[in-house]
Structure 1
Amino acid sequence: MIVLENNSLRVSISEKGAELQEIFNKETQLDYLWSGDATYWGKKSPVLFPIVGTLKNNSFHHNGNNYSLNRHGFARDMDFKLTESKDARVCLSLDANQETLAHYPFIFRLNIIYELNKNQLSCTYEVINIDIKPMYFSIGAHPAFKVPLEAAFEFSNYQLVFNEKETEGKWPISEDGLIEEKPLPFFNNNNEITLTKELFYGDALVFKHLKSNSIELKNNHSKHGFVFSWKDFPFMGIWSAKNAPFVCIEPWCGIADSVNTTGELRQKEGMNLLVPGETFNRTWSVTVY
């Protein structure tokens, strides 16, 4: 276990999946991250790479070859190496190998960089194409936050407040985990979602191209919550397991296959193209109070 610490926060990270295990605020004495209770969902903050969501038939085609790849890709289940550790910053790295090449035909390096600044944790995804051919990939976050944060409250005491008023619909998810063809009405020029357990009985809330770039989890009866911020992630998922005491806020550079997908990787929505030698960076952060 890797521990990153400053005067305000203590953050723990597992080498497996470079996955966050703890976001502990020394001032509030609260751990904001979900416990990982397998009764509901055994993970805490998996990294989604090289795809986000589900592929139709768990497979894709590229250059005339077929490949199998499970939901959310393989990075979350692989061992990363600690490649940098200094002050309030660490970097964990995953390199392509024979196991990854069997499912995904590109040579890459994936760096996950965690950094503390007072009561803020930032996470940067850095993807490097070290192949001799162009690389197609998606990447996304899946951190789960404890709700309620304090035992005195209920899940329904909390709201998600977006920093812009939104009008977007939500994109339904099929029984096979694919994105349906048309969105359903959701936002009506408003910026707040009151959390209820029933909200997630039909799987995640999936949005495309929101105007907002931050969401605050707040409780009008408490002074504790957090602000989650992101930049240049075109898709957003908000999810909880059925009746679970957590909520995931998931900025994505990628999305599940649509129900009418061709299966061709180049044609998949949300794929990012990286030419040889090029580096891709995206950062999200959470400020806890």
Structure 2
Amino acid sequence: MFAIATQQEQYKTYVLSDETAQAQVEVVPERGGIVTRWKLQEHDILYLDAARFTNPELTVRGGIPILFPICGNLPDNTYTHNGQTYTLKQHGFARDLPWEVVEQGTQDSAHLSLQLTSNEQTRAVYPFDFLVNFTYKLQGNSLEIHQRFTNRSSEPMPFSTGLHPYFEVTDKSQLTLDIPGTEFYNQRSQSVDAYSGKFDFEQDEIDAAFRNVTRQSASATDLSRKLHLTVEYDSVYSTVVFWTVKGKDFYCLEPWTAPRNALNTGEHLTHLEPGATLEAIVKLSVTVL
């Protein structure tokens, strides 16, 4: 049985439930359209820094932030389009703006659709008209995220997009990863490093971008919590980022359509023609071992 309820806390929160699977997802449209919680049986799947979440001046560290129209950061936070320089902060603006709920339903799944539309604020840093629609679909042990990006401009719209899910972990030494790549770009050392399937979690920070992934899924097994997580993504996603910080109870497996700075380099950048729409799906699944 599927259900959707709302609760008013600091922000209006939509609670999607699959009672048969004992699964629940919480979505906060006005805080960047973010999923803040995903629970399966007694397991909290996502990490959330509650203090940052309650401070609207700070970006959220936790849940599943939406990255658009860039992933990562730009040098000096700037790019040039048609001879004009624009400033765009890390991961873009979608995760900071309020989204509008446009549809919800409980037929065959609990699903909630949100949209973000260009406005004066976005055009000041990104001179394009767009409509972005996200539908969160909870069914069983899976959360599907259906995305539609429509270019309402009169010229091609360059962008990249991605998700930044924070997964809860209590003992990283019990974490095993399956990421489809043999090397990664190390953002901290600015080098390309070989990957043998393991990271040294004693490092202060790991920020590894696997470019040109060879498979449309990545996974992690948390032996201490007895959970197996799979992230599946469409072929438009060229990059998977693994990120974690020492002493913090999270790790991130992030599907990106392009690496950081693609708006300047053009690497894997999407150019959406006027009036065209790009659709993409990311599916997160959890198995209790």
Instruction: Give the TM-score taking structure 2 as reference length.
Output: 0.83
- Matched with 1:253 is 257
Runs of 5+ unmatched residues, structure 1: 149-153, 259-264
Contact kept? 1:21, 1:33, Cα under 8 Å = yes
- Matched with 2:172 is 155
- Matched with 2:149 is 127
Deviation digits for residues 179-222 of structure 1 (CA, Å, limit 9, x no counterpart): x4x522223xxxx436x5325x3441111112132223224465
- Matched with 1:56 is 75
- Matched with 2:207 is 204
In the alignment, structure 1 residue 185 sits paired with structure 2 residue 185 = no
- 2:271 and 2:149 map into 1 onto residues whose CA distance is 11
- Matched with 2:244 is 240
Runs of 5+ unmatched residues, structure 2: 1-12, 53-59
- 1:99 and 1:107 map into 2 onto residues whose CA distance is 11
Contact kept? 1:197, 1:244, Cα under 8 Å = no
Identity of aligned residues (%): 28
Structure-2 change in CA distance of 1:37 and 1:109 (3 Å): same
Give the secondary-structure state (helix, strand or coil) at the position aligned to 2:173.
helix
Structure-2 change in CA distance of 1:52 and 1:218 (3 Å): same
Deviation digits for residues 226-284 of structure 1 (CA, Å, limit 9, x no counterpart): 222222110110111232111111000122128xxxxxx47432320001111111211
1:131 partner amino acid: S
- Matched with 1:110 is 132
Deviation digits for residues 87-128 of structure 1 (CA, Å, limit 9, x no counterpart): 111111000000000000000011111112221101122110
| Equivalent residue for 1:277, pick from 275, 279, 282 | 275
- 1:202 and 1:146 map into 2 onto residues whose CA distance is 16
- 2:206 and 2:266 map into 1 onto residues whose CA distance is 22
- 1:242 and 1:270 map into 2 onto residues whose CA distance is 31
- Matched with 1:262 is none
| Equivalent residue for 1:86, pick from 105, 117, 128 | 105
Contact kept? 1:5, 1:116, Cα under 8 Å = yes
Contact kept? 1:49, 1:74, Cα under 8 Å = yes
- 2:286 and 2:47 map into 1 onto residues whose CA distance is 14
Instruction: Give the TM-score taking structure 1 as reference length.
Output: 0.83
State the shift of 1:38 in Å: 4.8
Q: How many residues align?
A: 262
Contact kept? 1:197, 1:243, Cα under 8 Å = no
Contact kept? 1:111, 1:125, Cα under 8 Å = yes
- 1:215 and 1:159 map into 2 onto residues whose CA distance is 11
2:27 partner amino acid: I
- 1:56 and 1:219 map into 2 onto residues whose CA distance is 35
| Equivalent residue for 1:11, pick from 25, 38, 43 | 25
| Equivalent residue for 2:160, pick from 138, 156, 180 | 138
Deviation digits for residues 31-69 of structure 1 (CA, Å, limit 9, x no counterpart): 101022558x73322111001111111111001111100
Q: Which has the higher contact order (CA 8 A, sep 6+)?
A: 1
RMSD: 2.2
Give the secondary-structure state (helix, strand or coil) at the position aligned to 2:202.
helix
State the shift of 1:174 in Å: 5.2
| Equivalent residue for 1:35, pick from 35, 48, 71 | 48
Contact kept? 1:32, 1:146, Cα under 8 Å = yes
- Matched with 1:21 is 36
- 2:15 and 2:139 map into 1 onto residues whose CA distance is 15
Contact kept? 2:259, 2:268, Cα under 8 Å = yes
State the shift of 1:134 in Å: 1.0
Structure-2 change in CA distance of 1:244 and 1:114 (3 Å): same
1:122 partner amino acid: E
